[in-house]
Amino acid sequence: MNFPTVLALAMAATLGLQGVAVFAPAYVVPSALGVATLGASPWLVRLYRRRSAASEKGGRGRAAYGVHGLSRTKSTIEAYNTVQNPDVPELVDYILQQATLQQASDVHLVPYRDYVLVRYRIDGILSDVAQLGPHLRDLVTNRLKVMAQAITFVHDRPQDGRIDLRVAERDVDLRVAFMPTLHGERIVMRILDRSELGFGLVSLGFTEEQLAVFSDLIFRPQGMVILNGPAGSGKTTTIYAALKAVLDHSDRGTSIYTLEDPIEYDLMNINQTQIEETQGFTFAHGLRTMLRQDPDVIMVGEIRDLDTARIAIQAGMTGHLLITTVHAKQAAGVFVRLSEIGVDPHSVASAVTAVIAQRLVRILCPQCKRRTPATPGQEAKLGQALSGHTFYAPVGCAACNQKGYAGRKGVYEILQVDETVRELIAARTSPDKLHHTAVERGMTTMIHNGLRLALSGETSLDEVLRILPPEQRGV
């Protein structure tokens, strides 16, 4: 250690102890560890740790972290609360990179009076990750606004933006939404991993019979296929997989158009248009325009008004395959919902070829799941005796980040509209009656297919119970 280094270190240590911000020259830093072990300023220790981490990864913002467990993520993020002059870009980078590496679908930054809660949604479940001190709130918000190209000085109205990120050789898209609240802006980021666009029909979760039925439905030249399920139930993934399958099936000889709000993934060889309702570019408007573009297949993000419903039904009956979603509690409820919007049940009955309800269940980590019988409580909720069957429950290990689950799969119910069902729809039959008729005619229910997944050990009984609305239990 040469004299100037010793001098600089001594100065830095003194100033650090007094709480004065100092930037030690780079050549001093490697020596800091030696001083730290002699009982010097903890500030210097932190500085050393951060600087050496930065040089390891070759500069800020390009970190190559491994996947950290939740407790390590928490302590790493919360360490910034006590650091003087925290490196905010590095902190934000860490939060986003860990979210991506841990396969989170969303990151939430929720401001409260005394802290900002960092939450990740992984496999559909939101969990608390860490708390940021209130002094970091505006710094982190500003940093994200800069990255997302939002306006930094606007705090009193919602803003949207996008961030492109590269994590561990993968290109990741972030949709960022800023929403004013009482204690600052709430930030929600949806992570869209473009490298995960393998979208194969086979891996979605359909049973073999369902896969055959679904393929037949989407390879027909016309008709209307409706997906149904709450937000986050995987409808978009199913639709994209369907569009990709249609494209491949026709050897790219099909013209496919989508109207989305928002566009969730960029798809190759598919014409995607984003709806802008606030600017008057509605689904109905977009659909009219699109029909003049000679489409074979049209995807409409959602049908929620009569105008869109009418044009969509017309399109589905005149040589187009139309794929869309409609909100309803269950597959059989979609027809009632459409007539509530104002569509004539006869038109619905003639245009719709199938309604597919979907939920997602988490898949058990194969490394640590354990065998278990069904509990009396689970049997009661399901309304069936399950003794004699073996199920599996989550445990948690290093491979699954102590969650017991890894990945998700769709559970489906396909209500096909055949002659019998068509007559019932036209006669405004109740959803329950329709559901039972479809079951009599061979439809396997969501609960049936969920149980099948649980019996095969892929998921747990609790997961099956979680996705079932109370009124479907015991069916």
Considering only 90-98, 207-215, 394-402, 439-447, which stretch makes contact with Zn ion by CB under 5 A?
394-402
Residues 99 and 167: beta-carbon distance below 8 Å: no
Angle subtended at Cα 465 by Cα 463 and Cα 468, rounded to the nearest 5 degrees = 110
In eight-state DSSP terms, residue 281 is: B
- E strands in 194-278: 223-228, 256-260, 271-274
In the complex, minimum distance from the CB of residue 369 to Zn ion, in angstroms, rounded to a whole number: 7
Strand 321-325, strand 297-300: pairing: parallel
In the complex, minimum distance from the CB of residue 461 to Zn ion, in angstroms, rounded to a whole number: 18
Query: Which of 290/406 has CB closer to Zn ion?
Result: 406
Residue with tokens 């102590």: 402
Residues 221 and 212: beta-carbon distance below 8 Å: no
Query: Which of 63/397 has CB closer to Zn ion?
Result: 397
Query: Which of 184/404 has CB closer to Zn ion?
Result: 404
Residue 399 interacting with Zn ion (CB under 5 A)? yes
Query: Which of 385/399 has CB closer to Zn ion?
Result: 399
Neighbour-count burial of 292, counting CB atoms closer than 10 A to its CB (0-12 exposed, 13-18 middle, 19+ buried): exposed
Please give the structure tokens belonging to residue 6.
Answer: 């010793």
* 325 vs 338: CA distance, rounded Å: 11
In the complex, minimum distance from the CB of residue 102 to Zn ion, in angstroms, rounded to a whole number: 14
Query: Which of 1/399 has CB closer to Zn ion?
Result: 399
In the complex, minimum distance from the CB of residue 397 to Zn ion, in angstroms, rounded to a whole number: 4
Query: Which of 275/400 has CB closer to Zn ion?
Result: 400
In the complex, minimum distance from the CB of residue 447 to Zn ion, in angstroms, rounded to a whole number: 26
Closest-CA residue to 126 (of 103, 104, 93, 101): 104
Please give the structure tokens belonging to residue 367.
Answer: 């490394």
Size of the site for Zn ion (CB under 5 A): 6
What number of CA atoms fall less than 13 Å from residue 156's CA on the CB side?
A: 0
In the complex, minimum distance from the CB of residue 398 to Zn ion, in angstroms, rounded to a whole number: 7
Give residues 324-383 in contact with Zn ion (rule: CB under 5 A): 365, 367-368
Residue with tokens 């429950």: 393
Query: Which of 73/358 has CB closer to Zn ion?
Result: 73
Query: Which of 43/392 has CB closer to Zn ion?
Result: 392
In the complex, minimum distance from the CB of residue 367 to Zn ion, in angstroms, rounded to a whole number: 4
In the complex, minimum distance from the CB of residue 48 to Zn ion, in angstroms, rounded to a whole number: 35
Give residues 156-215 in contact with Zn ion (rule: CB under 5 A): none
Considering only 25-33, 125-133, 182-190, 393-401, which stretch makes contact with Zn ion by CB under 5 A?
393-401
Give residues 417-456 in contact with Zn ion (rule: CB under 5 A): none
Residues 153 and 96: beta-carbon distance below 8 Å: no
Residue with tokens 């099956």: 464
Q: Site residues (CB under 5 A) for Zn ion? A: 365, 367-368, 397, 399-400
